[in-house]
Amino acid sequence: MNKLSTIKIFNSRIEAEIARSYLESAGIKSEISSDDAGQNISSLQALRGVKLLTSVENLGKARELLKKGSVR
């Protein structure tokens, strides 16, 4: 992927994983970024959020798909 941009920030890794999977099924590659001590301190996810990232080229389409879908 080229330069990455944030599609959305979620409260938990599970929510971000569901959204990532949904986007993958539509052919959009995405990545998750979370500063949660390697998933060892999950409470940091709620404080700092879990970012779902994609390339700048796919950003608009990804946001639109998440709005249309029931992924929040």
Residue 68's pLDDT band (cuts 50, 70, 90): confident
What's the alpha-carbon Rg for the chain, to the nearest Å? 12
Q: Is the pLDDT confidence value at 71 over 60?
A: no
Phi, psi of 55 (to 5 degrees): -70, 155
pTM of the model: 0.79
Q: Is the pLDDT confidence value at 72 over 70?
A: no
Across the chain, mean pLDDT equals 84
Encode pLDDT of 18-51 as tens digits: 999 999 999 999 999 987 555 555 555 555 689 9
Using alpha carbons, list the distances in angstroms from residue 17 to 11, 28, 40, 54: 11, 13, 17, 13
Kindly give the pairing relationship between strand 31-33 and strand 4-10: unpaired
